[in-house]
């Protein structure tokens, strides 16, 4: 049986794609032109987690933004989120009935990949987008995989095109204003960021000036790379 693809994220590139840990941090992003974001919560469960997801989904609807919920796919379905993002271990934990539920929900699906084998698995699931990384070393997460670098990232993205695979690619890992243009020119449709949109490593508030700069850099590189 041929699996049906998860829904498309649309013609507009995913663009700068911030990851935040609370719903309240989404508002300044959306107010300053971010069209895609992810709610990535690791310290809440149960009612507290559902409440954050509900608030985040409500904000995204106000701004017509594409909001992905990290890992918490049941909460994403219950709150009618735009999409969900799953890591490799998250995917491995799913039963066949869970996959059927996800496909029936209408959620968009993003999947993390770090190696070509993981990319092959992701393609078999037919996700809405595939994340590849870490591109560079990052302070936000302990590296369990070798960095891809720009050359390998470009090679992998080009390889997908040669195979006729239309799945958009989101790059992640150590990307900031100093290298985002080069990453976009490697052929990706989105650039996920955690630390690059914060005020500092010790202040997790959203830095609006950085957000605006990153948006402009992405757009310029995207237009040049068309």
Which residue ranges form the domains of the chain, and what is each CATH number? Answer: 15-225 (3.20.20.70)
Please tell me whether residue 92 adopts helix, strand or coil conformation. helix
Read off the tokens for 110.
């993003």
Please tell me whether residue 157 adopts helix, strand or coil conformation. helix
Residue 85: beta bridge partners? Answer: 70, 110
* Distance from chain centroid for Cα 28: 18
Please tell me whether residue 93 adopts helix, strand or coil conformation. coil
> If you ran DSSP here, which 8-state letter would residue 33 be given?
T
Residue 143 vs residue 103, higher pLDDT: 103
The reported pLDDT for the residue numbered 4 is 86
Label residue 12 exposed, middle or buried (CB < 10 Å: 0-12, 13-18, 19+).
exposed
pLDDT over threshold 70, residue 142: no
The reported pLDDT for the residue numbered 143 is 66
The reported pLDDT for the residue numbered 140 is 62
pLDDT over threshold 80, residue 179: yes
Average of per-residue pLDDT across 145-164 = 90
Average of per-residue pLDDT across 137-149 = 80
pLDDT over threshold 70, residue 1: no
pLDDT over threshold 60, residue 175: yes
Place of tokens 């959203």: 206
């Amino acid at each position: 049986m041929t699996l049906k693809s998860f829904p498309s994220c649309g013609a507009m590139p995913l663009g700068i794609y911030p990851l935040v840990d609370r719903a309240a941090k989404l508002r300044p992003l959306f107010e300053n032109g971010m069209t895609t974001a992810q709610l990535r919560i690791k310290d809440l469960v149960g009612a507290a987690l559902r409440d954050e997801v509900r608030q985040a989904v409500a904000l995204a609807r106000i701004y017509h933004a594409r909001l992905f919920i990290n890992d918490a796919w049941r909460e994403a379905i219950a709150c009618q989120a735009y999409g969900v993002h799953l890591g490799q271990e998250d995917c491995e934990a799913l039963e066949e009935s869970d996959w059927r539920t996800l496909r029936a929900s209408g959620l968009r699906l993003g999947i993390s990949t770090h190696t070509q084998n993981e990319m092959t698995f992701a393609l078999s699931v037919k996700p809405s987008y595939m994340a590849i990384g870490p591109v560079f070393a990052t302070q936000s997460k302990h590296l369990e995989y070798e960095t891809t670098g720009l050359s390998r990232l470009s090679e992998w993205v080009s390889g997908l095109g040669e195979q006729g695979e239309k799945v958009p690619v989101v790059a992640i890992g150590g990307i900031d204003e100093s290298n985002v243009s080069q990453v976009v020119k490697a052929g990706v449709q989105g650039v996920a960021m955690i630390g690059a949109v914060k005020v500092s490593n010790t202040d997790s508030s959203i830095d609006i000036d950085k957000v605006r700069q990153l948006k402009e850099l992405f757009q310029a590189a995207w237009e040049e790379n068309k």
